[in-house]
Amino acid sequence: MTKKNESGCGPDVLVAEKKRITPAPDASAERNHVTRLSTGLIHVNPMQPRRIFRDEALSELIASVREHGILQPLLVRQKENRFELVAGERRLRAAKAANLPDVPVILIDIGDQEALEIALIENLQRDDLNPMEEAEGYRELAGRFGLTQDEIAKRVGKARASVANRMRLLDLPSGIKKLLESGQLSAGHGKVLLGIEPDAEKELLARQIVRDSLSVRALEKTIDRGRKPTKKPRAEKTDLPIDYVRHLSDKLHQHFGTAVHINSTKTLSNGKKIKGSIQIDYYNSEDLTRVLEILGITSDDL
C-alpha cells in the first residue's frame, strides 16, 4: 500500500478525481477497474522522472514477483492507440525480468501534466527519487505546463520552500549534479555548495566531501574556517637590542655555569607592554642547589 504524503494526497486520490475514462483500444482492458494487460503492450512513460534503478533493489523485487506475482496494479493510460505507463515502472521491469505474460493494471484517462504529477508523487512517497530527478521533475512541471512553485508544491504535497530548494540544485555544475544523482552527495550538501563561488571552488569542495566523507555540518565548518581572515601578527619591537641580550646571556651562562635564556620585554604598536623573562637551566637537584647558592639562597631560606 502506498503511504500518504504530507497533504494526504497520493496517486490513488488523483486517479479517483478523474471525471471520465475513454474506451481502451483493447477489449480486455476495462475502464477504471483492475484488469490485466500483456507486458509487451505497455510502453514506458517518457516523462518518468526516475532514471536510476538500483540493480540490488530491482533484483529483490524480481525475486518477490517470481514468488508472489504483482500485488499492486500498475497505473496505465491510453494515449493515441497504445497503452502508456503512468506509475509502476519498477514493477513492470520486474514483471518482464520474471517473464510474466501479463500484469494487473488500472486504465485511467489523464493528460500529460497529470501523468507526470502522479509519477512524481509515487516516487516521492517511496523516496525513490534522487535530488536531481526530483528537481528535474519539478522543472518539467514548471517549464512544460507553466506551473508556479506554489502550484507544484500543492500538487505533490511538499512545502514550497522544499520545491524551491530542489529546483535550485539545477544551477550546480554538471559534475556535482552527477554526484547528487549517484548518492555520493546529499541535497543538503548541494544546498551549501550553491552559496560558494566560483564553480571551481564548488567542485573542489565536492571532491573533498566525497574523499573525507564530510557531513553537511562538517562542510559548513570547513567553509567557515576558509572565510575567516588570517590574523596579522601584531607589530612589536623589543626594548633591548638583540646584540646586548645575546651578550648578557653569555655573561650569565659563565656566571651560573648553565644556559640562561633571556626574553626581552616588548612594546606593541598600541603601546601595550609584554613582559620579559629569564630562564636558568638546571639538570638535577644538586645542580639546582648550586644555582640557588650562587643566587645567595640556601636550604635554610627555603
Torsion of CA 109, 112, 118, 123, to 10 degrees: 140
Query: How many angstroms separate the CA atoms of 292 and 274, rounded?
Result: 27
Query: How many angstroms separate the CA atoms of 231 and 182, rounded?
Result: 40
Nearest one of 210, 159, 161, 160 to 189, comparing CA atoms: 210
Residue 193's alpha-carbon distances to 228, 262, 296, in angstroms, are 18, 51, 68
**Cβ neighbour number for residue 29 with a 10 Å cutoff:** 19
The SS3 assignment for 47 reads: coil
Is 89 catalytic? The answer is yes
Contacts (Cβ under 8 Å, ≥6 apart) of 226: none
Residues 89, 114, 136, 203: which is the catalytic one?
89
* Residues carrying an active site annotation: 89
